[in-house]
Structure 1
Amino acid sequence: MDVSSKIRAGRRWLAGPEPWPARRTAGECVLAAVLALLAAGTQELMGSAGPAQFATALAVAVLSLLRRRLPATVLVVSGGAAGELAGFGPLLIVAGWSAGRRIPGAGKVLAAFTASCVLNIVVGAASELPRFSPLSLVMFSTLYFLATTVVPGLASRYWTQRRTLLHALQEHNAQLLRERAMVAGQARLRERQRIAQDMHDSLGHQLALISVHTGALEVDPALTDRQREGVGVLRDASVAAMHELREVVGILRDGVERDDAAAAPGLPPVEDPRPAARGAAGIEGLVAAARAAGNAVELRCAGSRRPLAAAADHAAYRIVQEALTNAYKHAPGAAITVELRYEPDSLVVEIANGPAPADPGDVVSGGQGLTGLRERARLVGGMVHAGRTDGGGFRVAGVLPYGADGLGPGTGAAPLVDVEDDFRQQSPVVPLGNGGQVMDWTVVQRELAMSGGRGSRSSGVVLGCGIAVGALVLLLVAGGFGLFFLAGSAERGMIEPGDYEAVKVGTAEKEVRESLPNGDSFMTSGLRDKGPARPEGSECLVLASSEFGESLAAEPVFRFCFRDGKLIEKKSYDVVH
């Protein structure tokens, strides 16, 4: 294994279950370097230098890189080391944040933080016990650990659990949407099957009867040629309608092939002498059939023919078919013009008829034909317009884009939008299924709004600010108690150099003790056994000076020794820690 492979394996091991991209690797290295510099600077302020300072910085950098892989171990080691070496303080904050989110299980988290806190207090007390009282050490160490380690750990764990919960809700919501779409699709399929069966059993039977009876009537010798021609038109129309019905039934059955032998129960199959071409190519057949029925229909074509997408091609056929049907019903006998214009980017289909020569009377109409045409054209990116002309006639015009099959390179054509539509109808539709994740973001936005934010980033900022404020309040409270405690303790163990000079040897012990503090303070707890030898048989009062010494390591001390009720000696000296 070469060096690069070992480096990659080591990086994967450090990253743990989460992959480390190059950006994360660089960020971790920069953070380790910053923590190492902070540790080195802190140790230098505390009087450490040389190999000890370098070893502390190196240990902090290594532990920083290991905190993702071994969060509990790094937390406990950092807590113990921070009790002795102040340079591990910044690392302890980062280790608390990482351990809060990476240690699985509340019990393990509690155990890791408790062990780190106890170790921090024990090591700190062992190093500072001669100078400070055990109660003060435990109180300040606990407050410090809570503010710098527990609060970041709780904040990190809450943020991680909230993000995990939100992701789980999104996944669950997407799964519900997919299941709902599947249920709706199954319901639609069953309904379409039922409709297809009803159409096949009822309309197919009736159309087959019409075809058979018109075929028998067509060969009746009693009919004139004109009548026989009309009956032939009816028979052809019924056969074409029957074949179109089979195609519609096949579509409703979602691709189930039609059974040409099952035109109607108990009837033989009927061959279609003129299969219906349900596209732009079949418009000529519609016009020919209309002419054969005695209508004056003119067909005009302009431009070079281009292929259309299947849906658009079928829409063009249906527009002409519906417009001709309306012209037959509402303006019987009027001249009809059908025009097909192949424009550079779309096919324009226009059907216009003149005013009706006579009152058509009561016309039975469903009223949904034009609405269906508009919807059909909208689905393929086109539009349909219908309205009366200036001469009293009626005009239906449709504009249909060629689509992916008919657009040439560089045409730059775009789907058309009907003026009656709005932009919401043109919004993209994300398909349901395995192709991509589908989210109902209203649920997510509602959940985020309940947390006080407009999105994940803003809510995270609000949460972070709240935790920061809480930690600041906790530190202020702890600092207030600490200052109050320090002020009282300093008053009992510290005097001014002038007070030391004012005390004279030989003064009565009672008078001296009344003028001086009693020395019961953590500031003097480690000073009593240090300094010059005491006079034999004497009892001494040791007090700290209110002034600083020549260095941070040297502390000025005043000592008053009493024997037989009098002050027999006073000394001023420095205690080096």
Structure 2
Amino acid sequence: MTCLNAMAERTARKEQSAPAPSSRTALPLRTALRDAALWAVLAAAGFAGLSDRAQPSLVLLLLPTLVLAGAVPASRRWPAAAVFAVNGLCAVGLANGSSPGNAYAVALAVMTYLMGVRGGSRLNPLLVLAACLAVDLAVCAVLRVGPVWWFYTVTMLPLALLVPWLIGRYQQARRSLVRGGWQLARSLEEQQRFTAEQARLRERTRIASDMHDSLGHVLSLIALRAGALELSPTLSDQDREDVVELRKTVSEAVEALRETVTVLRDNGESGPAGTAVESVEELLERAGASGMAVELDRSGESPALSALVGRAVYRVVQESLTNATKHAPGSAVRVRISHARGSTEVRVTNSTPPSGPLPGIVPGNRGLDGLRERVTALGGALDARPFEGGFRVTARMPDRVGATPVASVTPQEVEPPRAESDRRLGAARRTASLRFAAAFAVPAAVALSVLPAAAYLSYQLSSSVLRPTDFSAIRTGQQRAEFAGRLPGQEYPYPPESVRSASREPGTSCAFYRSNGNLLDQVDIYRLCYSGGRLVSKDVLPGGPSTS
């Protein structure tokens, strides 16, 4: 039956998880629409980046559009290839002589984010990002670009590669956590329902066996008395026949009851029906003889309990001892049985085990589920939870079956339980928090390592600016000392090679200055050439990088 139930559950889950034919058709269409929308947004951002050009060539308009049209859908199956393709657009943009920045850095950030969300490729995503950065640096070296291009390559492009990937990786971990948590919750719920049902069935079988023990004994006595009455000489023939029929009917009822209980009993049940059950004192004596530290405390006048209630008291103590031996070996167990106002309360407490406090209620504890079924069927209530580092089981039942049910058991001193799922959820949240922190800590560390160099470069660029009014006021033939006050604090140390190699008078030494303080755009360069401390020429040279 267990195998059949498991097969039925798996079949039902497959049927529930299998998408309907209409959903199979709608899913590719929805994916295509999303990819088309993303492509349109990225292509529009690229066109906006080219709007500052007077007449962009057809290649600049068509090639990026085609690359994005292939990279967006490819990012679902080959995210690394999509990142490489879009990074190529950014690398090509470094050849722009006016500015290294281009709008395709946005597309690059989107592709790296999608690579993080969708799990990357077979290669290590970090190797993919490192390879992209190596390509960008190689392009800068081949084109012999200026410092602004180098600064853009070592700051902006790594941020577009690394930060979105880390955020996407965090999103992927969070989605996996949520999806796995729901799957685990469904699995645990199914397992809990199955184990609880099994425990209830087993306990009902035990209850049926206990009913046979008590009711069968009474019926046997009735049959015995009927047999003795059959031999009485004072009975008439008709009375004697009635007594014989009564004894026969009672014997048949006892046999039918025995057969019913035998069929209901699980294979694991030991002992035939009618076997004498030991008392709680005998059970604790056996436990103490096996090395367990046990203590029994009875209070109140012991009433005449019904057979089912007495058996339930025994089962509560027995299951509690079993759980203490299994989950808290070495702990001391105290059993307290009290009788008051027509009810019996059994409280079994085990102390903190030598190995440390208990983690909580063990999931799928069929014994406790069975106890709760038995006690509830008798009109009682059962509570089981951690207590002062150990564990406590409390059951309260009426002394007679059919009496007024007792109130629920909620001891005030009992600690609230903490389920296994709560601990797992806490650990998963800590892991997700660490990944979320890494998504910001790593870029922050990269930024801290780059910021000093960026600040120094900004200082060099801003402190080498010669204002156009001062440049116009300087006249050739003047001595350097006459206009030294108009010059900035230092010369521009990174003029392009085309500016350095521009023609000049032989035997002169030249100084270079930036024409304005714009740090990202390329600006014109002022050149002042001296001969023996006298200004012999001043020139305005374009500051674009040399592509030769």
Q: TM-score, normalised by structure 1?
A: 0.51
2:265 paired residue among 252, 258, 265? 252
Query: What is the RMSD computed on CA atoms of the aligned residues?
Result: 5.8
1:540 paired residue among 510, 525, 530? 510
How many angstroms apart in 1 are the aligned matches of 2:205 and 2:66? 74
The equivalent of 1:152 in structure 2 is 164
Distance 1:521 1:41, change over 3 A: same
The equivalent of 1:401 in structure 2 is none
Are 1:120 and 2:133 counterparts?
Answer: no
Distance 1:573 1:178, change over 3 A: closer
Are 1:29 and 2:36 counterparts?
Answer: yes
The equivalent of 1:434 in structure 2 is none
The Cα of 1:225 is off from its aligned counterpart by: 7.2
Name the aligned partner's letter for residue 252 of structure 1.
R
The Cα of 1:500 is off from its aligned counterpart by: 1.6
Name the aligned partner's letter for residue 26 of structure 1.
L
The Cα of 1:108 is off from its aligned counterpart by: 2.2
Structure 2 unmatched ranges of 5 or more = 1-25, 94-101, 275-341, 346-372, 381-401, 410-417
* Secondary structure class of the residue paired with 1:521: coil
Are 1:516 and 2:487 counterparts?
Answer: yes
Are 1:69 and 2:87 counterparts?
Answer: no
Alignment of structure 1 residues 224-303 onto 2, 5 Å: 224=236, 228=240, 233=246, 236-253=249-266
Paired residues of 2:499 and 2:542 also in contact (CA < 8 A): no
2:473 paired residue among 486, 496, 502? 502
Name the aligned partner's letter for residue 454 of structure 2.
G
Alignment of structure 1 residues 47-196 onto 2, 5 Å: 49-51=56-58, 52-85=60-93, 86-103=102-119, 108-127=124-143, 129-132=144-147, 140-161=152-173, 163-164=175-176
The equivalent of 2:235 in structure 1 is 223
Name the aligned partner's letter for residue 493 of structure 2.
S
The Cα of 1:82 is off from its aligned counterpart by: 1.3
Distance 1:366 1:233, change over 3 A: farther
Larger Rg: 1
The Cα of 1:495 is off from its aligned counterpart by: 0.2
Name the aligned partner's letter for residue 541 of structure 1.
A
Paired residues of 1:214 and 1:235 also in contact (CA < 8 A): no
* Secondary structure class of the residue paired with 1:68: helix
Distance 1:522 1:106, change over 3 A: farther
Distance 1:480 1:28, change over 3 A: farther
Distance 1:166 1:81, change over 3 A: same
Distance 1:479 1:23, change over 3 A: farther
The Cα of 1:37 is off from its aligned counterpart by: 0.9
Q: How many residues align?
A: 393
Distance 1:573 1:232, change over 3 A: closer
Paired residues of 1:166 and 1:444 also in contact (CA < 8 A): no
Paired residues of 2:226 and 2:246 also in contact (CA < 8 A): no
The equivalent of 1:487 in structure 2 is 459
Distance 1:58 1:160, change over 3 A: same
* Higher RCO (CA 8 Å, separation ≥ 6 residues): 2
Distance 1:175 1:373, change over 3 A: closer
Paired residues of 1:496 and 1:547 also in contact (CA < 8 A): no
Alignment of structure 1 residues 370-519 onto 2, 5 Å: 375=377, 442-450=419-427, 467=439, 471=443, 478=450, 482-492=454-464, 494-508=465-479, 516-517=487-488, 518-519=490-491
The equivalent of 1:214 in structure 2 is 226
What is the CA deviation profile of residues 34-82 of structure 1, one whole-angstrom value per residue up to 9, with x for unaligned ones? 1111111123246672421343233223312211211111222322331
Paired residues of 1:210 and 1:235 also in contact (CA < 8 A): no
Paired residues of 2:146 and 2:496 also in contact (CA < 8 A): yes
Distance 1:56 1:87, change over 3 A: farther
Distance 1:146 1:25, change over 3 A: same
Paired residues of 1:208 and 1:263 also in contact (CA < 8 A): no
Paired residues of 1:497 and 1:545 also in contact (CA < 8 A): yes
The Cα of 1:115 is off from its aligned counterpart by: 0.7
How many angstroms apart in 2 are the aligned matches of 1:521 and 1:575? 13
Structure 1 unmatched ranges of 5 or more = 1-18, 255-261, 265-364, 379-395, 399-417, 423-440
Paired residues of 1:210 and 1:238 also in contact (CA < 8 A): no
% identical equivalent positions: 23
Distance 1:543 1:104, change over 3 A: closer
The Cα of 1:31 is off from its aligned counterpart by: 1.5
The equivalent of 1:568 in structure 2 is 536
Name the aligned partner's letter for residue 56 of structure 2.
A
How many angstroms apart in 1 are the aligned matches of 2:31 and 2:121? 26
Q: TM-score, normalised by structure 2?
A: 0.54
1:527 paired residue among 499, 517, 520? 499
* Secondary structure class of the residue paired with 2:499: coil
The Cα of 1:142 is off from its aligned counterpart by: 2.9
